[in-house]
Amino acid sequence: MTDQSSHATLMARRSRTLGPAYRHFYDAPLHPVRGQGVRLYDAEGRAYLDAYNNVPSVGHCHPRVVEALAAQAAELNTHTRYIHPKIVEYGERLTALFDPALSQVMFTCTGSEANDLALRVVRAVTGGTGIIVTSNAYHGVTADLAELSPSLGAANPLGAHVRTVAPPSGVDGGASFAAEVRTAIASLQAAGLRPAALLFDTVFASDGVYLDPPGCVAGAVAAIREAGGLFIADEVQAGLARVGSHMWAYERHGVVPDIVTLGKPLGAGHPLAAMVIRPDLLAEFGAKTRYFNTFGGNPVSAAVGLAVLDVIRDEGLQENADSVGRALQDGLATLAQRHPEVVAEVRGTGLYAAVELRGAPGTAGQGISWLLNDMRRRGVLLGSCGSHGQALKIRPPLPFGEDDLAELLTALDEGLSQDGLCHILGA
């Protein structure tokens, strides 16, 4: 059942049953039926190069992850109220990847739940409610998080306790980021609100991917601490080897967060997320309240998390993200030189990159939308980022190899040369 009519029928059933709040990618929605490594295959057997998905971190359907999941599911699945060695072992292995100050972990199923828990902790520990986020941040699906996710748009008003700051960009981005955070702190205080936390995605993905220069977030982190607040590093997008040079993107900046939230790549497709934290903060939170997440940290998830860590180590995926990531950033810089009429800027580190198009953000956003569809027709999957979707988002699974990169760059070179794109951008 792979023909167009069955595809159209499925689309109709999907919208009839799932309703209008779900979106799909591409003008011609993709219907993959199988995944392996960095490839997705549609119902007709066509292969697509996945240069977009960070959730299948170690590659789609990695056999070691699938095997670990199936074996544990066949033996026992319970929850964190019973003792299980895999939950403890996974916690030990995960926290060992952090600075010694961040030595405890709590498990959740999604990045949203991890951020939501972090909010509860900072409120309980600081006694404050004020939260500072970036101007196009996205931090998750709960009502609390929607209130501090400006990227959801004007129909989702921000909370009165929320202040936004521009992400750091440009050579003096660190100074302006720190200055904006200080202004936001003053604004909260003027409203009688105690600052509880500065919360940002450590690659500023939805803002458009801003990673440089290393160290540019340090002044802002110092500012929130001076004001009695905490720094929550949202590593849901950035974490687990993707930046190549480090396991976690915040490490590039030489700062140690008070709390780190994790999600997407931890389970390579399985819903596994976590909050890593300083034990003194958790002691205070734990003394005041309890936390039970029915599925968070179950033994099957723990087995999956362990297998993902094993694969990253055994297949040298951080080293791969570093070396192929450097080649990716160099290759994109070369493309930017070849297509100066359409490319405004290339940003990124490791296997996380953004290519911003020229023109007003709205027009560039239309250009990216055109380019994404064009690349899909060429068999390459990519995404967009920025307040108007004006930048291409490149974020492949970690085993992305040199041949995959060559394929991506060739396709992108062709896509950026098309009259259709130049026409939209007026180039």
Ligand X SMILES: Cc1ncc(COP(=O)(O)O)c(C=O)c1O
Contacting positions for ligand X (CB under 6 A): 110-112, 115, 138-141, 201, 234, 236-237, 263-264, 273
Residue that has been written with the tokens 């100074």 in this structure: 175
Q: And the tokens for 394?
A: 């490149």
Closest CA to 105 of 237, 332, 272, 353: 272
| Shortest separation between residue 125's beta carbon and ligand X, angstroms | 21
Nearer CB in complex with ligand X: 53/112: 112
Q: How far apart are CA 261 and CA 138, in angstroms?
A: 13
Nearer CB in complex with ligand X: 270/278: 270
| Shortest separation between residue 139's beta carbon and ligand X, angstroms | 5
| Shortest separation between residue 235's beta carbon and ligand X, angstroms | 8
Beta-strand pair 39-42/104-108: unpaired
SS3 36: strand
Q: E-strand spans in 72-206?
A: 104-108, 130-134, 162-165, 195-201
| Shortest separation between residue 302's beta carbon and ligand X, angstroms | 17
DSSP string, 187-254: HHHHTT--EEEEEEETT-TTTT----STTTTHHHHHHHHHTT-EEEEE-TTT-SSTTSSSSSGGGGGT
Nearer CB in complex with ligand X: 55/175: 55
- Chain centroid offset of residue 144 CA: 19
Nearer CB in complex with ligand X: 269/399: 269
Which residues are bridge partners to 41 per DSSP? 34, 47
DSSP string, 372-393: HHHHHHTTEE-EEESTTS-EEE
| Shortest separation between residue 72's beta carbon and ligand X, angstroms | 21
Q: How far apart are CA 312 and CA 399, in angstroms?
A: 9
Nearer CB in complex with ligand X: 112/298: 112
Q: How far apart are CA 276 and CA 248, in angstroms?
A: 12
Q: Are 375 and 30 in contact (CB under 8 A)?
A: no
| Shortest separation between residue 88's beta carbon and ligand X, angstroms | 24
| Shortest separation between residue 142's beta carbon and ligand X, angstroms | 8
Which residues are bridge partners to 388 per DSSP? none
* Position 244, amino acid: G
| Shortest separation between residue 127's beta carbon and ligand X, angstroms | 25
What are the φ/ψ torsions at residue 393 (nearest 5 degrees)? Answer: -110, 125
Nearer CB in complex with ligand X: 273/332: 273
Nearer CB in complex with ligand X: 114/303: 114
| Shortest separation between residue 192's beta carbon and ligand X, angstroms | 29
Nearer CB in complex with ligand X: 138/210: 138
Q: How many CB atoms lie within 10 A of CB 52?
A: 22
| Shortest separation between residue 137's beta carbon and ligand X, angstroms | 8
Nearer CB in complex with ligand X: 138/352: 138
Nearer CB in complex with ligand X: 244/271: 271
Nearer CB in complex with ligand X: 98/204: 204
Sheet holding 47-50, edge to edge: 32-36, 39-42, 47-50, 380-381
Beta-strand pair 380-381/47-50: parallel
Q: Are 117 and 130 in contact (CB under 8 A)?
A: no
